[in-house]
Structure 1
Amino acid sequence: MKQALICGGGGFIGSHMVKRLKEENFWVRGVDLKYPEFSPTEADDFIIGDLRDPHVCREAVDRKFDEVYQFAADMGGAGFVFTGENDANIMHNSGMINMNMLEACHKRNVKRIFYSSSACMYPEYNQLDADHPICSEDSAYPANPDSEYGWEKLFSERLYLAFQKNFGMEVRIARYHNIFGPEGTWEGGREKAPAALCRKVAMAEDGGEIEIWGDGKQTRSFLYIDECLEGTIRLTRSEWTGPVNIGSDEMVSISRLAEMTMRIAGKKLNLKHIPGPLGVRGRNSDNRLIYSKLNWKPSQPLREGMKKTYTWIEGQIQARENEDENRLGGARHIA
C-alpha cells in the first residue's frame, strides 16, 4: 500500500486531498495545528502539531513516504494578506514550515514532494491591466510580487528547487490561482472572494445590498477544489518539476462574480462599493504550459463550482441560525 503525508491536512485543500488519496487506497497521515473544521478527517493517522517546530516535522516524516504534499502555510484572502498587518507572521511562519519540512524529508530520504506555491508570486507590473494580465510561468522575473505573501512563495519555490539540485529530491511546484469550494473558510477574515460573496448573498434579504471592496472591476480566475486536486496529483506523479500554474483561465470581474452568485441564489441585490484591500488589478491563469506538459488543463465552468459552494455555505448559515434559535428557545423554556 502506498503512503502519503499531507502537511496542512486540517486545512481546506489538505483535507480534500486526504479524501482523494483515501479513494485511491493510500495510507494517509495528516499533520496540522487543527483537525478539519467542517468534517472528520479521513486520514489513517493525524498529528496535531506545529510544523514550525523541527521536532514535529521529524515526527511526521518517520518513514519514506511515496508522496508528500506540502500545503501548510500562514495564509488567507485579501483581508488577511494585503492589509500589511500580518506580513511578518506570513513570511516567518510559512518560511519556517518549508525549511523544516524539506530538511525532515531530506534526512528521511523522501524523494517526491509537492509544494503549493501561489500566483501571488507574479510581478505586480504585469497585472496592472485588469483585462490583459500576464501570468505565464516565464513572466515571474524580474520579481516584484505585490505582497510579502508572494515574496515568501517565491523564496520557497527557490528553496525547493535548491534542495532538488543539491540533494536529488524530486520536487513538484504548482502556482495555485484562487482555489475554492465547499468546506473552505467562509467567514472571519481569511476567506477568499467566492466564499465571501456566497456568504454575503446568502445572508442578504432579496432586494437588499451587499458590500464589495473597490470598484468591482478588478479581475481574477477561480479554480474549484476537485480540479485543483486533479492537477496537483497529475503534476506530482509526472516526471516534470514545474513550476506551473494550476488555475482556471475563465477570468471574471468581482462585480460579475457577485452577479453570478446572485443569480445562483435567485436574488436581486445592490452592490455597495467600499474601500478595502484589493491586491493586483487583474490576474488570470495562463494554462498553455500545463496543457503542453501534462496534456490536461481545468475545464469546469466557474458557475458549476459556485453553485456547489453557495449551496454548502447557505447550509452552514442555516444550520447556525437553527442552533441559535434552539438555544434561545431552550433559554426561554428554562426561564
Structure 2
Amino acid sequence: MAKERVLITGGAGFLGSHLCDRFLREGYQVIAMDNLITGDLRNIEHLFKEADFEFYHHDVSSFVHVPGNLKYILHFASPASPIDYLKIPIQTLKVGSLGTHNLLGLARVKKARILVASTSEVYGDPMVHPQTESYYGNVNPIGPRGVYDEAKRFQEAITMAYHTYHKVETRIVRIFNTYGPRMRLNDGRVLPAFIGQALRGEDLTVFGDGSQTRSFCYVDDLVDGIFRLLMSDYHLPVNIGNPDEITIADFAEEIVKLTRTTQKVIYKPLPQDDPKQRKPDITKARSILGWEPKVSRSEGLKITYEYFKSLPTEVLYQRDHKNFDRYIR
C-alpha cells in the first residue's frame, strides 16, 4: 500500500524543516518546497538520504504543480522575522496572498486538507490579554509590520473563503513565539538576538523599558500542536504557543545566567508598533486538541543554546540587515 504524501511549503525553514522530520517519523512521504530566500538547505540536508523525502526548489507565489496525489498541504512559506519582511516586503505580501491562493487551489484540485500557518501578529499590539482566537486585533496596516501582519490576516480570510465557498478542508494555526535548533541566529527575533549578543561578547539590547512581554514555545511542542490540529476536525483558528509569559527584561537576565556572559543589559527606544504584550490563551488547544506545551523554558533554552554554540564563527558574526539592531522583537 502506497504511503500518503504531504507537501510542506517553507520546508527548508526553521519550522518547516522540523515538520518534515515529524511527518517522516509518522510514516508519510514528504515533499518540501522552498525558494530558499530565507530557508536554508542545511536544515534539511540530513533528509536527502531518505527515500520518502523530496525537495522542490520553487516559489509558491508562482503557479504550484505537484504531480500525483496529496493527502495534506502545510503552508509555511513566508518570511517570519522583522529582518526578513522589512528587507523583502513585496515578497512577504505576495507569499501570503498569491502563494496562499495557489496552494488553496492545489488543495482543491488534489482534494487535500490544507493547514496554513498564521501568527500571533494578527493580533497586532493587543488590547486584550491574553489573546483569544475571538479577538480581532489592533493592527497598523501601513506601519513597518503591516506587510507581514496584513499578509497573514488576508491569508486567514482567503482560507476561510475557500472553506466556505469551495468546501476545501482547511485548518488555521496561529503561532506564537517559538524557538529551538535551526533558528537563524541573527534574524531579529529576541531569543536568538540575545544569545547571539552573549556569544559575541556584546551587551544585550532591550528595547523600551523591558516591561513588554513574550511567551516562548519550544519547537517540538509547537510541531506536536500543529500535527494535532491538522488531524482534528476543527476549521477555525487555534492558538498554539506557550502561555508561560515573561518580561523582556527578565528574559534578558535569564540569558545572562544561561550563557554566563559578563556583558551588561542596555536599553534602547522601542520600535514602532512593537507589541507590548504577547501571551496565548490556549483554552481551545487544550479542549479541542488535548494539547499543551511540555518543555519548560529552562530545558528548551539549554538545548537551543548548545545548538547556537555549535555554529561556525562566520555564522555567529553574520548580519542579515544593515539596521539589524532596530528591529529585534
**Does 1:310 pair with 2:305?**
yes
Cα offset, 1:40, TM superposition: 0.5
Match of 1:126 in 2: 127
TM-score (norm 1): 0.83
- Give the Cα separation in 2 of the matches to 1:253 and 1:80: 24
Equivalence for 1:172: 171
Q: Distance in 2 between matches of 1:253 and 1:141?
A: 21
Residues 246 and 212 of structure 1: is their aligned pair in 2 closer, same or farther, counting only changes over 3 Å?
Answer: same
CA offset at residue 185 of structure 1?
1.0
Structure 1 contact 12–36 (Cα < 8 Å) conserved: no
Q: Tell me which residue corresponds to 1:72.
A: 77
Do 1:177 and 1:248's aligned partners in 2 also have CA atoms closer than 8 Å?
A: yes
Amino acid at match of 1:314: K
Using the TM superposition, give the Cα deviation of residue 242 of structure 1 relative to its aligned residue in structure 2, in angstroms. Answer: 2.7
Q: CA 1:46 to 1:39, structure 2 compared with 1: closer, same or farther past 3 Å?
A: closer
Indicate conservation of the 8 Å contact 2:17/2:43, yes or no. Answer: no
- Which structure dedicates a bigger proportion of its chain to helix? 1
What corresponds to 1:137 in structure 2? 133
Residue matched to 2:33: 31
Paired position in structure 1 for 2:208: 214
Contact 2:11–2:33 (8 Å) recurs in 1: yes
Whether 1:17 and 2:22 are equivalent positions in the alignment is: no
Q: Does 1:40 find its partner at 2:35?
A: no
Cα deviations across residues 28-70 of structure 1 (Å, max 9, x unaligned)?
111101353345052611111111111xx12xx3233111111
Runs of at least 5 residues in structure 2 that lack an aligned partner in the other structure: 317-329
Q: Is the 8 A contact 1:15 1:36 kept in 2?
A: no
- Measure, in 2, the Cα distance between the counterparts of 1:320 and 1:17: 24
Aligned to 1:327: none
SS at match of 2:42: coil
Q: Which residue matches 2:114?
A: 113
Determine the structure 1 residue equivalent to 2:319: none
Amino acid at match of 2:23: L
- Would the alpha carbon gap of residues 12 and 282 (structure 1) be closer, same or farther in structure 2, given more than 3 Å must change? same
> Do the aligned partners of 2:194 and 2:205 also contact (CA within 8 Å) in 1?
no
The question of whether the paired residues in 2 share the 8 Å contact of 1:4 and 1:28 is answered with yes
- 1:169 & 1:216 partners in 2: Cα distance? 43
* Identity of matched residues, %: 25
Distance (whole Å) between structure 1 residues aligned to residue 159 and residue 244 of structure 2: 30
Aligned counterparts of 1:91 and 1:164: Cα–Cα separation in 2: 21
SS state at 2:45 partner: coil
| Bigger Cα Rg | 1
Paired residues in the alignment total 303
- Partner of residue 297 from structure 1, selected from 287, 292, 300: 292
219-228 vs 274-283, which moves further: 274-283
Distance 1:194 1:256 in 2: 12
C-alpha distance after superposition, 1:223-257 (max 9, x if no partner): 11101100000000011113010000011111211
Partner of 1:249: 243
Aligned to 2:185: 186
The one-letter code sitting in structure 2 at the alignment partner of 1:138 is S
**Is the alpha carbon distance of 1:172 and 1:32 closer, same or farther for their aligned partners in structure 2, counting shifts above 3 Å?**
same
Shift of 1:195: 1.1
Say if 1:41 and 1:32 are closer, same or farther in 2 by CA, change over 3 A.
farther
Cα drift, residue 123 of structure 1: 4.6
Aligned partner letter, 1:116? A
More divergent stretch after superposition (2-11 vs 291-300): 291-300
One-letter code aligned to 2:166: F
What is the CA-CA distance between 1:17 and the residue it aligns to? 0.7
Contact map agreement 1:123 1:140 (CA 8 A) in 2: no
- Per mean C-alpha deviation after superposition, the further-off stretch among 231-240 and 141-150 is 141-150
1:200 to 192, 197, 202: 197
TM normalised by structure 2 equals: 0.85
